[in-house]
Amino acid sequence: MSQLGFLVTTSRGMDELLRDEVSQLCPDATIKQSPGMLRVDGSLEDAYRVCLWSRLANRVIWILTDGDASSADAMYDTASKVDWSMQFSTKDTFSVQFHGSSRAINNTQFGALKVKDAIVDHFYDESGSRPDVERTQADIVINARLNRDKITLGIEMSGGSLHQRAYRQETGLAPLKEHVAAAMLMRSGWTQDTSQPLVDPMCGSGTVVIEAALIAAQRAPGLQRPRWGFTHWQGHRAEIWQSLIADAEARQITPEVKLFANDIDRKLVAMAKHNANEAGVFEFIHFNVGDALTFTPPKAAFKPGVLVSNPPYGERLGEMTTLIPLFSQWGQQLKSHWQGWHLSLLSSNRELLRLLKLRASKEYSLMNGKLECKLVNYALDEANCQQYSEGQDNDFANRLKKNLKKLKPWINQANTNCYRIYDADLPEYNVAIDRYDDCLVVQEYAPPKTIDAEKAKRRLQEVLLYLPAVTDTPSKQIMLKVREQKKGKQQYEKVSQTGNRKVVFENGAKFYVNLTDYLDTGLFLDHRITRQEVQKRVKNKDVLNLFSYTGSVSVFAALGGARSVTTVDMSNTYINWARDNFKLNKLSGAYQFVQADCLQWLAGHNSQYDFIFIDPPSFSNSKRMNTTWDVQRDHVMLLTQAKRCLKPGGTIMFSNNRRGFKLDDEAMNALGLTAQDISAATIPEDFKRHSNIHQCWILQS
């Protein structure tokens, strides 16, 4: 049997903890540490012991050989030198897991294939038969790890990742891995004295408290695993393994512990209870359903202990609007009720933890699955429990209050419940905020590269922290979106899919808006006056609305008494939305809705109109169009086609939001169109801070 020892892998950031643990489990072994992995010069019994007892390891691999892998052929030769028939038989299935790359071998599938070929060829040469490959539940898993020009081949003894303890039957949406929970408990200091009360106020499916109970009960985490990778291995020594199992079962105790698990979600608490029962530690844990913002130290705790938790991260953008005020309130609650306790919190969003307004005593980097996380420790001593009044003296909050005060008379007179209340007034708070009835939409403009990303993130969190109080809007009714230049099909892509529509009103019309699913809501607020201008000008006229979006201009044209309204847009979604807006306003008559590329449609169109409204995008390279579109380059071509469909004496209203756009006046004169710039008159009061948001002309034939 090989005397090369074995490898033990873990998640990044847990190497030192794993080394300490393996040193205790294998005191006579020599250990070499590298990122995410230990190489242990130890016995087979040592390897078994790590499989059974490690709370931090992912996999244990018994090394069969190290060798040359400077080329694919060299690696094949290294694999061929292993006597595979001494490891397993042709009756066993096997698979190859390949890790790493080099200049010679830069594809893991190719690497795995070369190792597999060497194994199969060995069996063919020796017996004329071969074992079958099984990708999912193979009897034998060969682990191949390539590092530069060297390959290490071994038998995976663990039979899948060791973090899977077999007790977790159900999980929430973002489950905490068991070995990460164990690392949190070790880093928190609780494992040094398990008589301390331990609380997880956001327990999810209960992983932290279950791992704590297993530690306190001195129960080997591998005892419940139903499957091991060495069962079919010919190097397996059942008598050694069974001796270790018997010893582990004998070492279990009934612990004196005070473990408390709480979550606001009743279903998650039920999952946690079920998982604890599967783990055999249900009786050691007190479960509770409640809000962490009102959860206080349980009376049964008797004394301050350790709070260990994995609070929500806010991986999805929309979650941030509710999490930011939650963390701020939680920080105040912790200071008020948890004095003397120690906290250990894991988050992939370090900025969220800063909202607790607590001074960290120590922090560690580690991975939970693919998420890069920080585990941050706090001591809730007297200095750390001082309350700092949030007040509303923040620069952003003060500016927003001034805006609302200034806009109040206008808002009271405006016949709409949709308007802008803040538009990047302060450069460091680079957002626009629009009210839609009882909701707010916060649009964060992607910061330039010159602005530090972490600083920009902090400023956004301040916006979301102060916004509910200043505007008297619940955080759950605040939607967050990030605006950046979109090209091609990105202009039409959904950012979410909730199907959540609401009805708003504007100057006698009603509209459906969707505040969550798209970057735009369905109603361009800066065109409020423009829509009224259309309504005034179209009585008894035939109207064409090109690039119509959701048809709001068409609705006002119909309400203005237009004889007919033709609405054209490339997006079927927007055309259906326009139809719904007409139904919402109980409009019926000579109204047509056309889903088509506006440029192609107009080029082949021959009908005549009294009034044409055109508000094209600044740029587009959508796959639905045959060519790219640039409003500066192509507006003369577009207006030439529109003029062809304009009745004598008719009017074109042309608008766009391209910064620095210049209308080609000579071309307009050549077309027989007189141009009147009405941009300034069409900018509403709530958009005057950035009055270049759009330009608008009346083109008269």
pLDDT tens-digit map of 457-475: 888 888 998 899 899 999 8
pLDDT tens-digit map of 363-382: 999 999 888 999 999 999 99
Q: Which two tokens stand for residue 539?
A: 């009585």
**Local confidence band at 482 (pLDDT 50, 70, 90 cut-offs):** confident
What percentage of residues in the chain have a pLDDT greater than 70? 94
C-alpha span between 89 and 87 (Å, rounded): 7
In the DSSP assignment, the letter for residue 429 is S
pLDDT tens-digit map of 17-44: 999 999 999 999 999 999 999 999 999 9
Question: Token pair 């060829």 is at which residue?
Answer: 121
Q: For 530-540, what is the mean pLDDT?
A: 98
pLDDT tens-digit map of 106-143: 999 999 999 999 999 999 999 899 999 998 899 999 99
SS3 for 300? helix
Q: Is the pLDDT of residue 317 over 60?
A: no
C-alpha span between 240 and 226 (Å, rounded): 18
pLDDT tens-digit map of 598-608: 999 999 999 99
Please report which residue ranges of 225-316 form alpha helices under DSSP H: 238-250, 266-279
Determine the angle formed by the axes of helices 528-537 and 552-559, rounding to 10 degrees. Answer: 40
Whether the model clears a pTM of 0.75, i.e. scores above it, the answer is: yes
C-alpha span between 345 and 375 (Å, rounded): 6
DSSP secondary structure string, 181-212? HHHHHHHHTGGG-TTS-EEETT-TTSHHHHHH
C-alpha span between 675 and 654 (Å, rounded): 10
Structure confidence at residue 394 (pLDDT) = 85
Q: For 549-572, what is the mean pLDDT?
A: 97
Q: Are strands 150-156 and 140-147 parallel, antiparallel or unpaired?
A: antiparallel
Please check whether residue 235 is in contact with residue 6, taking contact to mean a CB–CB distance below 8 angstroms.
no
Cα angle: 420, vertex 565, 414; to 5 degrees: 25
C-alpha span between 450 and 273 (Å, rounded): 50
Please check whether residue 496 is in contact with residue 517, taking contact to mean a CB–CB distance below 8 angstroms.
yes
The backbone torsions φ and ψ at residue 219, rounded to the nearest 5 degrees and listed phi first, read -95, 125
Q: Is the pLDDT of residue 565 over 50?
A: yes
Other residues' Cβ atoms within 10 Å of the Cβ of residue 485:
9
Q: For 467-486, what is the mean pLDDT?
A: 83
Q: For 523-537, what is the mean pLDDT?
A: 97
Choose among 349, 130, 172, 415: nearest CA to 270. 172
C-alpha span between 202 and 293 (Å, rounded): 10
- In sequence order, what are the beta bridge partners of 263? 289
Structure confidence at residue 393 (pLDDT) = 66
Cα angle: 430, vertex 436, 440; to 5 degrees: 40
**Local confidence band at 391 (pLDDT 50, 70, 90 cut-offs):** low
Q: For 252-276, what is the mean pLDDT?
A: 96
SS3 for 158? coil
Structure confidence at residue 489 (pLDDT) = 39
Chain centroid offset of residue 289 CA = 26
> 350-369 burial string, b = 16+ CB within 10 Å, else e?
bbbbebbbbebeeebebbbe
Size (the chain), residues: 701
Q: Hey, which bits of 596-636 come out as E strands?
A: 609-614, 619-620, 629-630
Please check whether residue 644 is in contact with residue 604, taking contact to mean a CB–CB distance below 8 angstroms.
no
Structure confidence at residue 445 (pLDDT) = 83
The backbone torsions φ and ψ at residue 686, rounded to the nearest 5 degrees and listed phi first, read -75, -5
C-alpha span between 144 and 166 (Å, rounded): 26
List Cβ<8 Å contacts ≥24 apart for 582-585.
582/551, 582/554, 582/555, 582/558, 584/503, 584/510, 584/511, 584/512, 585/509, 585/510, 585/555, 585/558, 585/559
Q: Is the pLDDT of residue 494 over 80?
A: no
Question: Token pair 């991975």 is at which residue?
Answer: 367
Q: Report in angstroms the alpha-carbon separations of 518 from 12, 258, 543.
A: 37, 48, 28
C-alpha span between 182 and 682 (Å, rounded): 62
Determine the angle formed by the axes of helices 572-584 and 552-559, rounding to 10 degrees. Answer: 30
C-alpha span between 111 and 71 (Å, rounded): 10
Choose among 212, 195, 464, 445: nearest CA to 327. 464
Question: Token pair 């209203």 is at which residue?
Answer: 653
Q: For 664-680, what is the mean pLDDT?
A: 96
Burial class (CB in 10 A: 0-12, 13-18, 19+), 190: buried
What average pLDDT does the chain have?
92
Q: Report in angstroms the alpha-carbon separations of 178 from 181, 185, 222, 339.
A: 5, 11, 12, 29
Structure confidence at residue 499 (pLDDT) = 63
Q: Which amino acid is at 546?
A: L
**Local confidence band at 490 (pLDDT 50, 70, 90 cut-offs):** very low
Q: For 356-368, what is the mean pLDDT?
A: 94
**Local confidence band at 229 (pLDDT 50, 70, 90 cut-offs):** very high
Chain centroid offset of residue 179 CA = 23
Structure confidence at residue 486 (pLDDT) = 45
Please check whether residue 597 is in contact with residue 624, taking contact to mean a CB–CB distance below 8 angstroms.
yes
SS3 for 698? strand
Structure confidence at residue 318 (pLDDT) = 57
pLDDT tens-digit map of 265-297: 999 999 999 999 999 999 999 999 999 999 999
Q: Which amino acid is at 96?
A: V
Other residues' Cβ atoms within 10 Å of the Cβ of residue 15:
19
Q: Is the pLDDT of residue 497 over 70?
A: no
Structure confidence at residue 405 (pLDDT) = 95
In the DSSP assignment, the letter for residue 562 is -
